[in-house]
Structure 1
Amino acid sequence: MKSTNAPLWPLLLGISLLFTAAGMLHAAPSEPQWQALNHSLVSEHILPRYQSLQRSSAELATSTAALCRQPDQTHLERAQADFQQTMDAWQSVQNIQFGPITTHMRNFSMQFWPDKKNLIGKQLNQLLQQQNPDTLSVDYLYQASIGVKGLPALERLLFTGSLSDLENTSYRCQLTQTIAAYIAVNSQATLDEWTDGYADSVSNAGSEASYYDSHQEAAVDMMKALIEPLEAIRDQKILSPLGDGQVRPRRTESWRSQRSLRNIQLNVATLHHLYSGTKKSVDSLLRQQGRAAQADNISTLFNAIEQQLQAVQAPLITSLHQPETVKQLLEISAALQQLDRELSAEMITLNIQLGFNSRDGD
């Protein structure tokens, strides 16, 4: 009887080739792919946002100076409008927590929040009571506490009290002008450092002159800027104000200028753009890795969250007391958590280890 046993090596070779092909399909992106992605994210996402922050903060410095020269309702409204534009610009780049914005803790100087112990209120009131003219300089603010030199302190000065407070207390108006000038100086310095060196460091990752050892390492910072803010938005900007059965509207971000909801909308829109809004994007990279279905799902989640946010009534300082608003925000919170999970799972496909969360401990 003839044996029917056939050699196993052709079958094993075929299986080996099949797994090799599958591995190639889902292989981690190459260094050139990471380089192309990083270049797009810097040139099309990060730099334009820092340019917007520089322009708007310069206009804010100009309008607050004009307010102090002529403290009337027209100039106050102009300064308030420029504050809103500057906060728009900041919220659109708030997710970038690496690079020049971290030099001398500029990120915290720009916006110290959440302020759980009312540090800003205590220290700002102390300055207003003492009215020391030596504190009315940008140089002084470089040495001052982070509580009195950023956008939250400026918000208190521009959106609380009355016009007569600025008319009758020249120190208050001059402090407003000084803080605005400090914000403008730091915005300019951050942009300058990106354009004068840090962007090149990202582009030339792996060289001796670069901060990064590889393009993939540089991409880790980009991916953290995409994923880490989702938890911060959910926990700090939504769930904390909702409280544990009792809403606390004054825990919302920027409630004095009635822009808490707008901040969240801008944050999500920014992350959506970081994910898929550039020529070379995370979305396109996932598709190249054979993850089109997952990329579609992430895009769908972004679109759904943005639509949900548009349906929420503003301002949150008042609408948070409505059960419908609470329900909507809880649904948005759940969607953000799902988006976080989906994006984090895809980091495995891209062979990205996010590691320590820079926002832990906030």
Structure 2
Amino acid sequence: MKNLLATIALMICPSLAVSQSIATDVVENHILPRIATLAESGQTLSEAATADCTATSEPLRAAYGDAFDAWIAVSHLRFGPIETAERGYALAFWPDSRGATPKALATLIRDADPIVETAEAYSDMSIAARGFYALEFLLYDPTISTAGDDAYRCQLVQTVTADIANLTEDIATDWQDNYAALLTNPSQNSLYRTDAEAAQELFKALNTGLELTSDARLGRPLGTFDQPRPTRAEVWRSGRSARHVAVALDSLRDLATRLSQGDPALVSDVDAVFARAIGQIEALDDPVFAGVATPTDRIKVEALRSRVDEIRAIAGLQIGLHLGVEAGFNSLDGD
């Protein structure tokens, strides 16, 4: 009789069978490798700035691109070590609707503020002047990248990259030493009491990434038909707007597939819809979404956003049902 009841329970709620292993798989094969890459690339970026701090340095710009890719690949994990001490915002203060980042950097450079002398002191600086988006201005903005004294600006670049290295190393250490075990070993006295709660955290991360991609990375430059906003695209100065969408979708595809394990048909559906979206971004040939200003090209970006929203619908309904969870609170809400 007990065996019969167990079989019926699994038929009604397949999540009972998969949730026990899903968090371990996601942590070991999705999160930890990407977090390790983030920390390694953050250190490489800092070393590149130490070797050559000039804005046009190709090795520095390449290291910036690699480290930024690594961040985008984990930018949906807005919980735990990334959320602690606002590390995620310190690494990635965007959207910046009020232009706080260039204002903060311009003030630092104008005043030659000594806070740039050490990364430890700089960690008390406003998040608007820290992280990858501040570094984009320092490397690619024609005004900020040439403002003030060359030596001071060099020190600022080196300190911002050292701060990035410290933040990414702290995130990796916390994941390795503590948070991975919290997600993979739920208990009644722990942050996650059950496997289902751990699965819900990961499901929420998937929804966070999809929302950020649709509403901010694509929605902001699209604006409206009458008033498109191409210069609101993410990192358009460095020509990386479309790349960020592609990197994010590739990482979210891996997470969504892992969350769908145990249901081969769902895995196939998820993989197919992500493949179509990634194919659309690869065929777009518009690295900064400048085409949103022209009707012919705008429709391509709108179609891409619609595809991402299709993924959101599948995630919200089918993956959520598969796991037996709801998206819950989104860490991006209210930003």
Q: Distance in 2 between matches of 1:195 and 1:153?
A: 28
Q: Which amino acid aligns with 1:77?
A: E
The aligned residue for residue 63 of structure 1 is 48
Q: Which of 208, 219, 233 is residue 228 of structure 1 equivalent to?
A: 208
Is 1:311 aligned to 2:283, yes or no? yes
Q: Which of 190, 197, 204 is residue 171 of structure 2 equivalent to?
A: 190
Deviation of 1:167 after TM superposition, in Å, equals: 10
Is 1:80 aligned to 2:61, yes or no? yes
The aligned residue for residue 336 of structure 1 is 308
Counting aligned pairs with the same residue, the percent is: 30
Q: Which of 1, 11, 23 is residue 25 of structure 1 equivalent to?
A: 11
With 119-128 and 229-238 compared, the bigger mean Cα shift is at 229-238
Q: Distance in 2 between matches of 1:213 and 1:21?
A: 24
TM-score by length of 2: 0.92
Instruction: Pick closer, same or farther for the CA change 1:164–1:286 going to 2, 3 Å.
Output: closer
SS across alignment from 1:284: coil
Deviation of 1:320 after TM superposition, in Å, equals: 3.6
The aligned residue for residue 120 of structure 1 is 101
The aligned residue for residue 7 of structure 1 is none
Q: Which of 308, 326, 332 is residue 353 of structure 1 equivalent to?
A: 326
Deviation of 1:318 after TM superposition, in Å, equals: 3.6
TM-score by length of 1: 0.85
**Alignment check: 8 A CA contact 1:72 1:163 kept:** no
Give per-residue Cα distances to partners, 1:193-238, cap 9 Å, x unaligned.
1111111111211153x32111111111111111222122111111
Q: Distance in 2 between matches of 1:253 and 1:331?
A: 18
Deviation of 1:250 after TM superposition, in Å, equals: 1.1
Q: Which runs of 5+ in 1 are unaligned?
A: 1-16
Is 1:54 aligned to 2:39, yes or no? yes
Instruction: Pick closer, same or farther for the CA change 1:322–1:244 going to 2, 3 Å.
Output: closer
Q: Distance in 2 between matches of 1:102 and 1:152?
A: 18
Q: Which amino acid aligns with 2:13?
A: A
The aligned residue for residue 36 of structure 1 is 21
Q: Which amino acid aligns with 2:182?
A: S
The aligned residue for residue 296 of structure 1 is 268
Q: Which amino acid aligns with 1:161?
A: P
Q: Which of 254, 260, 263 is residue 286 of structure 1 equivalent to?
A: 263
Q: Distance in 2 between matches of 1:266 and 1:332?
A: 14
**Alignment check: 8 A CA contact 2:34 2:74 kept:** yes
Instruction: Pick closer, same or farther for the CA change 1:350–1:318 going to 2, 3 Å.
Output: closer
Q: Distance in 1 between matches of 2:324 and 2:289?
A: 42
Q: Which of 200, 205, 209 is residue 186 of structure 2 equivalent to?
A: 205
Deviation of 1:35 after TM superposition, in Å, equals: 3.0
Q: Which runs of 5+ in 2 are unaligned?
A: none
Q: Which amino acid aligns with 1:174?
A: Q
Give per-residue Cα distances to partners, 1:6-36, cap 9 Å, x unaligned.
xxxxxxxxxxx9x997764231422x63231
Superposition CA RMSD, Å: 2.3
**Alignment check: 8 A CA contact 1:166 1:173 kept:** no
Between Structure 1 and Structure 2, whose CA radius of gyration is higher? 1
Deviation of 1:119 after TM superposition, in Å, equals: 0.7
The aligned residue for residue 138 of structure 2 is 157
Give per-residue Cα distances to partners, 1:253-274, cap 9 Å, x unaligned.
0111100000000111111011
Q: Distance in 1 between matches of 2:143 and 2:243?
A: 24
Is 1:272 aligned to 2:289, yes or no? no
Report 1:244-255 matches (<5 A): 244-245=224-225, 246-255=227-236
**Alignment check: 8 A CA contact 2:137 2:145 kept:** no
Q: Which amino acid aligns with 1:87?
A: F
With 172-181 and 314-323 compared, the bigger mean Cα shift is at 314-323
**Alignment check: 8 A CA contact 1:226 1:275 kept:** yes
